């Protein structure tokens, strides 16, 4: 008898969300990885963007020991107001385009590590899934990113934002939920990693997605969407990071 893979995946993710998801993580991986593994695209497409950060840093060096906000276009869309939203914390923005987790890993040496971050707010993974990368590979690549940072800054703290839903990528949400489960599992195993579920507040009480928090492209958030993220993330950051503000220079 044939088993519908999407149905199986959704069922497994539901079990992960409601009970003992660590036990079922391997099953989710099997469901999500059926078939050929899709590799990451070459990160070279971002060379111009990365070079612009390097030029900017040379002309106006950012503070050392700040919180680096790294991620894809959802992070870029927050650049203008994230300093206001997460005040009084010292931030350095490092979003770039439609980047993925492997892009962040590749360019960490150039746009993250030179900043000597005390903490990193991390939003990647959504584009990975949209490009056909499996949740398991996203998690493995995230592990490599953390290892790279901790090799140089062993006490750097991570605030890992959950992958967000969107009307445009609704069909990919089961895989994104599976990715979130993997990321949450990794954060639970390391006291330096904190999982921040920004996606939960993007749903109505009936489980439907809030339509008024997205731009007309049905993918990126509008100001109301980012206000929701602020309400979730800021208390977490203030509790853990405010005491370190005097060390940022």
In the chain, pLDDT over 90 holds for what percent of residues?
82
The model's pTM is 0.85
pLDDT for 160 equals 99
pLDDT greater than 80 at residue 23: no
d(CA 25, CA 136): 9
Q: Where are the domains of the chain?
A: 64-247
**What average pLDDT does the segment 215-229 reach?**
97
**CATH topology for the 64-247 domain:** Rossmann fold (3.40.50)
d(CA 180, CA 142): 12
Average pLDDT, the chain: 89
For the segment 117-166, what is each residue's pLDDT rounded down to a tens digit? Answer: 999 999 999 999 999 999 999 999 999 999 999 999 999 999 999 999 99
- Confidence band for 38, pLDDT divided at 50, 70 and 90: confident
């Amino acid at each position: 008898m044939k088993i519908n893979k999407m149905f199986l995946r959704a069922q497994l993710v539901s079990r992960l969300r409601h009970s003992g998801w660590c036990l079922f993580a391997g099953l989710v991986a099997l469901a999500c990885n059926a078939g050929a593994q899709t590799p990451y695209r070459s990160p070279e497409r971002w060379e111009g963007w990365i070079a612009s950060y390097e030029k900017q840093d040379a002309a106006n060096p950012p503070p050392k020991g700040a919180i680096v906000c790294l991620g894809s276009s959802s992070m870029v869309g927050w650049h203008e107001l994230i300093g206001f939203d997460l005040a009084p914390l010292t931030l350095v923005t490092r979003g770039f385009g439609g980047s993925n987790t492997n892009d962040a890993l590749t360019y960490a040496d150039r746009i993250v590590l030179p900043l000597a971050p005390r903490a990193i707010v991390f939003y990647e993974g959504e584009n990975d899934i949209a490009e056909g990368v499996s949740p398991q590979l996203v998690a493995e690549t995230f592990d490599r990113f953390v290892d790279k940072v901790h090799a140089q800054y062993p006490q750097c703290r991570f605030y890992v934002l959950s992958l967000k839903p969107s009307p445009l990528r609704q069909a990919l949400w089961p895989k994104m939920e599976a990715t979130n489960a993997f990321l949450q599992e990794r954060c639970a195993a390391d006291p330096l990693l904190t999982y921040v579920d920004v996606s939960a507040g993007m749903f109505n009480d009936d489980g439907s997605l809030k339509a008024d928090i997205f731009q007309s492209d049905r993918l990126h958030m509008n100001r109301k969407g980012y206000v929701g993220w602020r309400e979730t993330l800021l208390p977490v950051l203030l509790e853990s990071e405010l005491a370190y503000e005097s060390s940022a220079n």
